[in-house]
Amino acid sequence: MPTEGTIPYAGGETWYRVVGEGEEPGKLPLLCLHGGPGALHDYLEPLERLAGTGRRVVFYDQIGCGRSWVEMPADFWTVELFVREVQAMRDALGLDRVHLFGSSWGGMLAMEYALTQPTGLASLLLASSPASIPLWEAETGRLRRLLPEETQSVLDEHEANGTLDSPEYEAASMEFYRRHVCRVDPFPDCVQRTFAGVAEHPDVYMTMQGPNEFVITGTLKTWDITDRLGEIDVPTLITAGAHDEFTPLQAQRLNEGIEGSELVTFEDASHMQFVEEPEHYREVVAAFLDRVEQG
C-alpha cells in the first residue's frame, strides 16, 4: 500500500506519497517533480508503475499547490524555495542516493537542483523540460501561429482586451493544449484533477509562469540556464513528444548542452508522454534506470 504524509516546510506542510515498499538489491528510489509551477503531482500517476521495477517511487505536491497549499505573498514563490524543498524531501525520507525525475517545470527544477552539485544524485530524467524560457516562449508562439485562424483570432482579441479569464478564451486555449500538452481525448482523470487544482489555487502558476502555456508574464520569463548545462555531470535521459510544446529545437539544445545525455522522442505523444504512451514510457525509463544502476 502507498504511504502518505507531510513534512513541515517554509511555513507550510509539503504532502508526499510513496509507492513501493523499498528497494531491491542494487536499485535506487525515484523522486518525481511535477510541473506547473503549481500543477499538482496527480498527472504523474502513470509513473507509479515504475515501483514494479523494484524501487520506491516518491511524489509530492510542491509547496503552494494541491495538498501542500499555503497562502503566501507573490515574492515568496522563487526557484530557490523549490530547490530547497527537493533537499528537504530527500532529508525527511532518507533518500541518500536517488534518481530525480522532472516533468516540464519539474525538470527545470531538477536541473537547478543538480547545479547545486548535491551528493547522492544518481541520474536525471527530464520530461519535456526547457533550459530556456525565452526559447520556450518563442517556440510556443510559433506553434500557436499554426492553430486554426479562427482560434488565433479569439486568442488575439481577448489578449488585447485583457479578458483572459473569459470562457471563450479558455476554450480557444484548450485547442493548443489538446494538440501540444495532452493528446488523449478526453483528458484522463489524473490530468483533469491537475488542471482543476491549478484553477483552484493559481497563485504559484500565475506568479511564476503566467495565464497559460504560451503567454509568459511571470518571474520565470527570463529564466535561462543554457550556458550552465555543461555543469550537469550525472547520467541524463531527456524525453519529448513529437507533438510537444517542448519542440525539437528545445530538445536538441538540452541534449547538446548536457554531455552524454540521451534523447528519446515519443511519436504518438506531446507534453505528457507518460500519460499518452504509458507502457512505452515505462519501458524506456526502466531500461535507463537499469543501465545507470548497472554502471
- Judge whether 209 and 36 are in contact, CB under 8 Å: yes
Residue 170, Cβ density class (10 Å: 0-12 exposed, 13-18 middle, ≥19 buried) = middle
CB environment 225-260: b (16+ within 10 A), e (fewer) = beeebeebebbbbbbbbebbbbbeebbebbbebbee
Using the 8-state DSSP alphabet, how is residue 127 labeled? E
Q: How far apart are the first and last CA of the chain?
A: 31
Kindly list the catalytic residues: 104, 244, 271
Residues 47, 292: Cα–Cα separation, whole Å: 18
Nearest Cα residue to 239 out of 194, 270, 208, 193: 270
